Structure 1
Amino acid sequence: MKTVELGRTGEQVSHLALGCMLMGTTTDEPTAHRMLDRYLDAGGGFLDTANCYGWFLQRGSRGGESESVLGRWMARGGRRDQVFLATKGTAMVRDPDAAWAGRDDPDWTIARRDFEGAGAQTLRRNIDDSLRRLGTDHIDLYYVHVDDLSTPLEETLEALAGIVRAGKARYIGWSNVRTWRLERIRGLCERNGWPAPVALQQQHSYLRRRAGLEHVSIVDDEQYDYLRHHDDLTLVAYSPILKGIYDDPAKREGHWAMDPYQGPDADARLAAVTEIAAEAGATPNQVVLAWLMHQERPRVVPLAGPRTLEQLEAALPALDVKLTEEQLARLDAAGA
């Protein structure tokens, strides 16, 4: 497992991070512990979770299941010092029961209207609760999970500065945020001497979102260009293989994960990645992960979030996929 610098902090993190969202709900605890052990054995150490994982995966969940599973795993054999631990606050809904009421799946309209937000009191409560569940005295990377337009940025950033000053978090990051807001955040941090984000966690894959789509969470051309010119921010890419659709043409037919990408550009890029996977003796999913890890401007850390040990085992060979300059050029050039 290679490492990559987080922003310009000097901190080296695993180039393939492990997303722990499903642990404790969709993935039972014994399986989660086996996956964590396997990732550690493969040389990995960058773990990503959030305080809200996973109220939306299981009716009756209050959030915090993933953090609790990680806390128990780290306590077993003193693993805390072996990992770089990231978690998030601000996105938990106030009343998950209302979002689930009478439905087979949660109502995201209710959830997006009723999330806790990034007020100072909420942030201080969120991180203390996360520290308790995780069984640690500090978080290595603490994200604002959902950009909160209703709370003054000054309030959020001053609270985060206090959290860092108190030693409860080492670095801060932001997720699900537009570029203009990111620039404003960075400007306020510079003017006030507050710690600035060193990581941006957004949805990012080999496919590019379709033209005209408004989507706060998927990297667009402007944001990608911004990151190319600001190497103090590392892009942590969630959903890098889009639920595994690259490997399975039948799966991507009508799959919700494909909806933001549908069109001729996606068709051309899917054809390119399939062709190069055959040349490389790898799966298309593995080639996508390898392509992301080949990126240098900006640096990208793909975040694999497997549900099963088998899915993790299928992702790990991407670490050994070597793409030639010619193959990388063809992948980059594919599409409209």
Structure 2
Amino acid sequence: MAHMTTNTTKRIDSLARYHLLGRSGLRVSPLALGTMTFGTEWGWGSPKETAHRLLARYLEAGGNFLDTADGYTGGTSEEFIGDYFAKQGGRDSAVIATKFTINTIPGDPNAGGNGRKNIHRALEASLRRLKTDYVDLYWLHAWDGITPLEEVMQTLTDLVSAGKIRYLGLSDVPAWYFARAQTLAERQGWERVVALQLEYSLLERNIEREHIPAALELGASITPWSPLGSGMLSGKYTREGLTAKGEGRLPAIQGGGNPGLEKLFTERNWRIVDTLLEVSRELDRSPAQVALAWVARRPGVASTIIGATKLEQLEANLHALDVELPPAQAARLEAASRPELVHPYIFFEDTFYSGGMFSGGTSIRAEPTWFRPAAR
């Protein structure tokens, strides 16, 4: 694809059009820099020098939202971020988000999960690595299925009161869990959840059934992770049967038993990739840019997490917000990737409504826009 800005010292206006995160006053860039690739402990990723160049370019372009976790590359990701701001300054201008839940001390049952003891342990360790005394957004990394929700919300509220975190978010939780958290927060006067971090892409749209409607109703933003489907939507892979072939980490890690990766390799998903490639050629844009542009404009989405291991890759992704999706191409992507209609949502199809089942045959009815969101 020929269309790509090569001036890597230029501020990108579309990146600096900040969005409010949920019902809060926190302003974040529409693209967040994911730093799971900071460090080489997992056999892929970026050494410190490269990571710092990526971070510098993102900030220089107008971005301000950094996403990391205590479990990323054994804590190296947080260390790289802390080292950068300790050397370059500017920490207070950045919105730094990190996470807890993942057990980082094998053999210690309280060094993981979402209990109060681990939340405090994890936060103190993250603050040391980040070389800061507060975190702007603290994510619960994943539902542990055990810890009472009241304990989680009270603990995070206390940390806001103590000044150690500014806002709180939930990642990879059931929609009912978020809804209960937000409702309890309203009732008890606890800190509200400002954002949900969930997988969302042309290949993974299941959150449109319940999570996005809940977020829109209850005042939280969506912060998608893996908007490129673990790289499958990047355009750099071809299919071999149902598996991926090409230069990159996806072929190397497929077949490893990770359910989040193994679900990718289906005939349906390869058909979505084919449609994406057709649309990207018509628009003279890279498949990655088109896929990111699609996600970033979905209802409820405030900031989409992008990652990169090379500067040119980051630069191309940062310009995804400049991509305009004409109605015809947007409709083709929508049709190719639309989630299966399952119970009970099958009852909410327009044909069922138009039959007057709930309206007594009258023409007055509420449009169920929450069920199948249209692109903005």
Q: TM-score, normalised by structure 1?
A: 0.83
8 Å contact from structure 1 (residues 161, 194) kept in 2:
yes
Query: Which structure: larger Rg?
Result: 2
Distance 1:194 1:315 in 2: 37
Within 5 Å, give how 1:61-100 maps onto structure 2.
63-95=74-106
8 Å contact from structure 2 (residues 204, 229) kept in 1:
no
Which residue of 197, 202, 216 corresponds with 1:206?
A: 202
What secondary structure sits across from 2:136 in the alignment? strand
Corresponding residue for 2:220? 233
Corresponding residue for 2:20? 5
| Deviation, structure 1 residue 161 | 0.7
Aligned residue identity for 2:329? Q
| Deviation, structure 1 residue 82 | 2.3
Which residue of 285, 290, 296 corresponds with 1:293?
A: 296
8 Å contact from structure 2 (residues 32, 305) kept in 1:
yes
Aligned residue identity for 1:66? S
Residues 127 and 6 of structure 1: CA distance in aligned 2, closer, same or farther (over 3 Å): same
| Deviation, structure 1 residue 316 | 2.0
Aligned residue identity for 2:62? G
Corresponding residue for 1:318? 320
Distance 1:115 1:122 in 2: 5
Corresponding residue for 1:150? 146
Corresponding residue for 1:248? 236
Within 5 Å, give how 1:126-205 maps onto structure 2.
126-205=122-201
Q: Which string of whole-angstrom CA distances, capped at 9 and with x for unpartnered residues, describes residues 8-41 of structure 1?
A: 2132201010001121333110110000011112
Aligned residue identity for 1:13? V
Which residue of 274, 279, 283 corresponds with 1:280?
A: 283
For structure 2, which runs of at least 5 residues remain unmatched after alignment?
Answer: 1-14, 245-253, 255-259, 339-376
Corresponding residue for 2:48? 29
Which residue of 248, 265, 269 corresponds with 2:272?
A: 269
Distance 2:76 2:237 in 1: 33
Aligned residue identity for 1:87? T
Distance 1:42 1:328 in 2: 27
| Deviation, structure 1 residue 78 | 1.2
Distance 1:227 1:205 in 2: 17
Distance 2:118 2:141 in 1: 12
Q: Which string of whole-angstrom CA distances, capped at 9 and with x for unpartnered residues, describes residues 187-211 of structure 1?
A: 22122111121111111111136xx
Distance 1:274 1:302 in 2: 21
8 Å contact from structure 1 (residues 92, 116) kept in 2:
yes
For structure 1, which runs of at least 5 residues remain unmatched after alignment?
Answer: 55-62, 99-110, 210-217
8 Å contact from structure 2 (residues 114, 144) kept in 1:
yes
Distance 1:322 1:34 in 2: 28
Number of residues paired by the alignment? 303
| Deviation, structure 1 residue 324 | 2.3
| Deviation, structure 1 residue 261 | 4.1
Say whether 1:117 aligns with 2:113: yes
Distance 2:331 2:111 in 1: 42
Q: Which string of whole-angstrom CA distances, capped at 9 and with x for unpartnered residues, describes residues 234-253 of structure 1?
A: 11111111232220342684
Which is further off, 184-193 or 304-313?
304-313
| Deviation, structure 1 residue 265 | 4.1
8 Å contact from structure 2 (residues 185, 192) kept in 1:
yes
RMSD: 2.3
| Deviation, structure 1 residue 168 | 0.7
Task: Identify, as 1 or 2, the structure richer in helix.
Answer: 1
Corresponding residue for 1:309? 311
8 Å contact from structure 2 (residues 199, 226) kept in 1:
yes
Within 5 Å, give how 1:41-60 maps onto structure 2.
41-54=60-73
Corresponding residue for 2:347? none
| Deviation, structure 1 residue 125 | 1.8
Aligned residue identity for 1:18? L
8 Å contact from structure 2 (residues 103, 112) kept in 1:
yes
8 Å contact from structure 2 (residues 38, 46) kept in 1:
yes
What secondary structure sits across from 2:138 in the alignment? strand
Residues 115 and 327 of structure 1: CA distance in aligned 2, closer, same or farther (over 3 Å): farther
Residues 49 and 258 of structure 1: CA distance in aligned 2, closer, same or farther (over 3 Å): closer
Q: TM-score, normalised by structure 2?
A: 0.75
Aligned residue identity for 1:248? K
